[in-house]
């Protein structure tokens, strides 16, 4: 009960960490999306006014932000599994839709088209990562199950081996050591130190055969 309680506690703690990481990732992604939106608006204004001297720098900055968003999406999928995949997919689709509506359609800026392509490619990328992570998780689960099976098999075999050893060296009725164990101990003593003398005491119970004949050998 304590063991399973510990496992449940670890699972709850891990789940809490995933939720925290997921929330932080979503906030960072949305913040970067707002920065991208601001940069796109500045580029559109600069292009409209004819002062597009910094558009190259802004475009490069947008590209860097897009790459960071891809990294955030990938990390969420790897760390948070299904929840991270769902959140990342939704965020990237929102990003693509936002760019399409506000930057391309409303503002009429064709320079923002890559801002649509990158989130879509990001969705494809994280989908591939998620699918392969599922396969890896499944393989790990199968390996763990195989390991548990082998561990249980080894335990059963060890118990059977101990039982066979006991049956080979001890009397089932009395639980006393039998003749074979005595002989083995004698051989060990002789092999360990052949120069050390030792004695063997033998005694017999008179007329014990009558008890066996009267009451049986299992008494």
The pair of structure tokens assigned to 64 is 């860097």
Contact by Cβ (8 Å): 129, 77: yes
What pLDDT does residue 115 have? Answer: 66
pLDDT of residue 59: 65
The residue whose two tokens read 């089932």 is: 172
Indicate the domain borders of the chain.
Answer: 1-133
Residue 93 C-beta-side C-alpha neighbours within 13 Å: 9
Supply the pLDDT for residue 1: 45
Distance of CA 189 to the CA centre of its chain: 52
DSSP string, 52-76: -TTHHHHHHHHHHHHHHHHHHHHHH
pLDDT at 102: 67
pLDDT at position 97, please? Answer: 85
Give pLDDT, residue 129: 92
Alpha carbon distance 24, 3 (integer Å)? 32
Residue 190 has what pLDDT? 81
* pLDDT of 147: 93
CA–CA gap between residue 15 and residue 19 (Å, rounded): 6
Residues of the chain with pLDDT under 50: 1-7
What pLDDT sits at residue 198?
75
d(CA 99, CA 176): 86
């Amino acid at each position: 009960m304590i063991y399973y309680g510990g496992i449940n506690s670890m699972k709850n703690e891990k789940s809490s960490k995933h939720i925290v990481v997921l929330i932080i990732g979503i906030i960072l992604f949305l913040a970067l999306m707002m920065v991208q939106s601001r940069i796109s608006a500045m580029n559109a204004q600069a292009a409209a006014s004819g002062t597009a001297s910094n558009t190259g720098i802004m475009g490069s900055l947008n590209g860097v932000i897009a790459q960071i968003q891809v990294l955030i999406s990938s990390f969420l999928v790897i760390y948070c599994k299904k929840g991270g995949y769902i959140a990342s997919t939704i965020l990237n689709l929102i990003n693509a839709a936002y760019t399409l509506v506000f930057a391309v359609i409303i503002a009429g800026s064709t320079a923002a088209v890559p801002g649509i392509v990158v989130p879509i490619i990001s969705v494809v990328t994280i989908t591939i990562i998620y699918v392969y992570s599922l396969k890896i998780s499944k393989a790990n689960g199968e390996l763990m199950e195989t390991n548990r099976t082998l561990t249980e098999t080894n335990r059963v075999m060890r118990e059977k081996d101990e039982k066979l050893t006991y049956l080979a060296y001890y009397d089932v009725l009395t639980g006393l050591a039998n003749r074979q164990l005595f002989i083995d101990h004698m051989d060990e003593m002789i092999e360990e130190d052949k120069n050390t003398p030792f004695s063997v005491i033998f005694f017999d119970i008179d007329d014990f055969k009558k008890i066996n004949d009267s009451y049986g050998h299992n008494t």
